[in-house]
Amino acid sequence: MAAIATTYIAIAYAGAVTFGFISLLGTLFMLIPFSDLGLGAAVVNSVSRRAEDAEREEIALDVTRRALRALIVVGIVVVVVAGILSAFSLWPSLLGIPQEFAGDANLAAFGVFCCVGAGIPFGLGQRLLVADNRTHLSTLISAITSIVSVGFTSAIALVAGPALLMAIATPAGILVAGIIATFVARKRLGWTWRQLFAGPPTRQTLTESLWKPAVPMLIVMIGAPLALQSHRLILAHVGSSAELSEYAVAAQFYVPALSIVTTGALALWPQFARGRGQQGRNWGVSLLLMALFGILGGVALALLLAPVSLLVSGGRVIVGFPLAISFAILLLVMSLHQPSAMLLTSTRGLWFQAVCMVALAATSIPLGVLTTPLLGAVGPVASTAAAVAITTLIPCIMYARCVVLRG
């Protein structure tokens, strides 16, 4: 409902073409989910085992503390770099945005990355909730993102502000949700702010390596967005404004569906991390459930995207059936991949995923660029679906099966 509301308000206020650029700017943060340097993996793996004994509790706190300090620095760097790009008006040329939108585009991009930079350390909040088996709380708090997004978009329209500033809505919502999640997670874990920010370092004999899982996770988090979130950039540079608008409207409904899949799958991570052999036997059941959701969700996308897009855009944008089918297939492929991705979170498993993600990015992006002139908005989506299946889904299922059999 939030996706429908924000899409309707933005298109009604700014028009279909401008909405495409709002979507492009508003999803820039998806290209840098690796801004946590992969440290979230180390935190989840460590905190999920904190209840084993007092030493594991001490290690979990130390890993979280060091990750938090590092991410504060990363957040500051992100804001400074975004500020420099905006000051020199470089965003329009980087993103393929027409010069008529240059002033507002630079301001909107800076606003987006201010929210992103501030939210990077707070992103650990939801990781901590997942590790503490409180995925339901993480999901509930994530709903605040949609509320803030609709409110921010509505406010821009009510005060007749620059339309491109609507791009800040989703990053602002994510920031608010991250802050709340961090406060809730800290309270549930029983840690004080002093322990998190200024506590003494854990003695060396207990210190768990922060970077062993973080390095391959960082590669995964670089490869995944390059392959899966580069579609708008490809369409902005190689496609047309109409194709970008069609893709933007379709993605407004695909992303929430994928979010449901990934959020549900996150609950498997701490379960597998505690006992990869035993818990791995649940992998087969998880695979079947994700396949069922992917099929049902894909059918819903294929049938509903065209009429819903027509409704929310006031007839200005209609998502064609080929694009709807492409998104449906991509949802199915991504759903099938999630159980394996959650099982393969040991250091060795993450390195295997890292290799797969490099292959995915190296395949998906060139295919998207080559097929866009021929297929329009369908090109990058269909290319990514095929690349995910070949380079990531099938290899990870085969490797996960070996892990389960070794039990």
Token pair in block for residue 290: 């994700």
Biggest CA pair distance of the chain: 65
- DSSP assignments along 274-335, one per residue: H-HHHHGGGHHHHHHHHHHHHHHHHHHHHHHHHHHHHHHTTTS----HHHHHHHHHHHHHHH
Output the CA–CA distances (angstroms, integers) from residue 217 to 5, 123, 128, 222, 328, in the order listed: 35, 15, 17, 9, 27
Tell me the pLDDT band of 157, cut-offs 50, 70 and 90.
very high
Which residues in 24-38 are b (16+ Cβ under 10 Å) and which e?
bbbbbbbbbbbbbbb
24 or 277, which is more confident = 24
Answer yes or no: is pLDDT of 385 > 90: yes
At residue 211, the pLDDT reads: 64
**pTM score, whole prediction:** 0.73
| Alpha helices in 159-281, H assignment, sequence order | 169-189, 193-198, 214-228, 231-238, 241-266, 268-274, 276-279
Answer yes or no: is pLDDT of 174 > 70: yes
Q: What percent of the chain has pLDDT over 70?
A: 91
Answer yes or no: is pLDDT of 1 > 70: no
Scan for tokens 């759903």, then name that residue: 335
Taking phi over 0 as left and psi of -120 to 50 as alpha, with beta for the rest, 38 belongs to left
Mean pLDDT, residues 201-206: 48
Summarize pLDDT for 267-291 with one digit per residue, the tens.
777 777 666 555 556 788 889 999 9
For the chain, report the end-to-end CA distance as a whole number of angstroms: 43
52 or 102, which is more confident = 102
In Å, how far from its chain's centre is CA 206? 32
At residue 274, the pLDDT reads: 66
Token pair in block for residue 67: 């990750």
At residue 375, the pLDDT reads: 94
At residue 182, the pLDDT reads: 93
Q: Which of 38-42, 215-219, 267-271, 277-281 has the lowest mean pLDDT?
A: 277-281
In Å, how far from its chain's centre is CA 154? 24
Q: Which of 106-115, 198-207, 358-367 has the lowest mean pLDDT?
A: 198-207
**Nearest to 133, CA basis, from 271, 252, 333:** 271
Summarize pLDDT for 327-380 with one digit per residue, the tens.
999 999 999 999 999 888 888 998 999 999 999 999 999 999 999 999 999 999
The secondary element (H helix, E strand) that includes residue 64 is helix 54-87
Mean pLDDT, residues 66-73: 88
Mean pLDDT, residues 152-180: 93
Contacts of 136 (CB under 8 A, 6+ apart): none
User: What mean pLDDT, rounded, does the chain reach?
Assistant: 85
Mean pLDDT, residues 243-248: 89
At residue 259, the pLDDT reads: 83
Q: Give CA–CA dist 383/227, Å, rounded.
A: 10
Most confident of 56-60, 258-262, 333-337: 333-337
**Nearest to 44, CA basis, from 125, 121, 114, 158:** 125
Answer yes or no: is pLDDT of 226 > 90: no
**Nearest to 379, CA basis, from 252, 245, 238:** 238
Q: What percent of the chain has pLDDT over 90?
A: 39
How many CA atoms lie within 13 Å of 406's alpha carbon, on the beta-carbon side?
8
Which residues in 209-221 are b (16+ Cβ under 10 Å) and which e?
ebbbbbbbbbbbb
Output the CA–CA distances (angstroms, integers) from residue 77 to 30, 114, 144, 223, 309, in the order listed: 17, 10, 26, 21, 38
Q: If DSSP codes are grouped into helix, strand and coil, which group holds residue 344?
A: coil
Q: Give CA–CA dist 57/397, Å, rounded.
A: 33
SS3 content of the chain, % helix, strand, coil (to 5): 85, 0, 15
At residue 205, the pLDDT reads: 37
